[in-house]
């Protein structure tokens, strides 16, 4: 299958991976795996597409050291079919250091999860990374990609009232642009966020939909998660943990690996961009003569 074929634009064509690796979202670490997906279309290793992908991922890792959201586009040469798009976003309450660490780990896991895939997406508890050669930037997508509910608390009118108050705040607009929202009522806390490439109205529409689906899906659950392709809403009885997590010795080892990975990706991306530049420069200098000489 040729590289110019576009990867799927929707998660319905992605192979979704979901792991129940936490009992409650209130105690999950920033790098806890939530869901991941890869396009079915593959690219050939060693091609220009791989160089562009390395460039996108290097840009994602490097940019996360300075900001909590950014998107990237590497133009293609064949009518846009081989243009590559990328985006990352961290949870709105993460520090710059935690954001950079989360994104670095997400990129590392994507390399294993979506090996040679033209498109891939990974949501960790603290950050989201996606790339594809099908346009998705600025496109609202309310496809349900992950939904989980905790155990039922039965009919507890007081508990359900607090839960509904939290969800109502998360899903209601006060006229201000709030892509990241945190709410609490008693021992129930919640969080919601949309991806930064959405307009304010699209963000509000997505969050309202996520909250509505979450309330309908996790009717009497002690906690619940609803992740749509471009936004999510979560709540938990017992408190929402929003300060990241402490790092033990194993995490220090992971940090060293992440830094090494970031450096390697940067070197590979620089080499890839140099090759692309030299190729275009050569074509610019000799024009059609290159094609004629090459054909002899």
Indicate the DSSP class of residue 126: S
pTM (predicted TM-score): 0.73
CATH of the domain at 49: 3.30.430.20
Q: What angle do CA 70, 76, 80 make, to 5 degrees?
A: 95
Residue ranges making up the domain that contains 46 = 11-137+261-286
Question: pLDDT tens per residue, the chain (296 residues)?
Answer: 444 344 333 443 344 443 323 333 333 478 899 999 999 999 999 998 999 999 999 999 999 999 999 999 998 776 566 889 999 999 999 999 999 999 999 999 999 999 999 999 999 999 999 999 998 999 999 999 999 999 987 777 888 899 999 999 999 988 889 999 999 998 899 999 999 999 999 999 999 999 999 999 999 999 999 999 999 999 998 755 433 333 333 444 444 444 444 444 445 545 555 554 455 445 545 554 544 344 43
- Residue 291 resides in a domain: no
130 and 170 together in one domain? no
Q: Is residue 3 part of a domain?
A: no
Q: Examine the domain organization and report whether 217 and 273 are in the same domain.
A: no
Q: Is residue 251 part of a domain?
A: no
Residue 1 lies in a domain: no
Domain match, 18 and 164 both = no
Structure tokens at 120: 């891939």
> Are 271 and 124 contained in the same domain?
yes
Same domain? 202 vs 155:
yes
């Amino acid at each position: 299958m040729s590289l110019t074929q576009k990867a799927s634009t929707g998660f319905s064509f992605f192979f979704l991976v979901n792991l129940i690796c936490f009992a409650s979202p209130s105690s999950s670490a920033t790098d806890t795996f939530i869901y991941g997906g890869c396009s079915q279309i593959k690219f050939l290793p060693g091609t220009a597409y791989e160089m562009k992908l390395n460039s996108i991922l290097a840009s994602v890792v490097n940019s996360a050291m300075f900001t909590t959201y950014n998107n990237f586009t590497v133009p293609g040469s064949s009518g846009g079919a081989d243009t590559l798009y990328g985006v990352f976003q961290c949870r709105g309450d993460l520090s710059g250091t935690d954001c950079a660490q989360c994104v670095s780990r997400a990129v590392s896991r994507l390399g294993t999860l979506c090996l040679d895939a033209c498109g891939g997406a990974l949501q960790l508890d603290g950050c989201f990374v996606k790339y594809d050669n099908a346009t998705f930037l600025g496109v609202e997508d309310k496809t349900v990609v992950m939904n989980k509910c905790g155990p039922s608390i039965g009919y507890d009118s007081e508990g359900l009232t607090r839960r509904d108050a939290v969800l109502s705040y998360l899903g209601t607009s006060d006229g201000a642009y709030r892509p990241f929202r945190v709410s609490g009522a008693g021992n129930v806390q919640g969080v919601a966020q949309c991806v930064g490439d959405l307009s304010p109205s699209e963000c509000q529409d997505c969050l309202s939909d996520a909250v509505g689906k979450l309330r309908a899906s996790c009717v009497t659950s002690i906690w619940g998660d609803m992740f749509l392709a471009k936004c999510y809403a979560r709540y938990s009885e017992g408190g929402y943990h929003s300060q990241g997590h402490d790092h033990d010795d194993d995490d220090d080892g992971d940090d060293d690996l992440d830094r090494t990975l970031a450096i390697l990706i940067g070197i590979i991306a620089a080499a890839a961009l140099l090759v692309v530049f030299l190729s275009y420069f050569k074509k610019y200098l000799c024009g059609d003569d290159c094609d004629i000489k090459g054909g002899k």
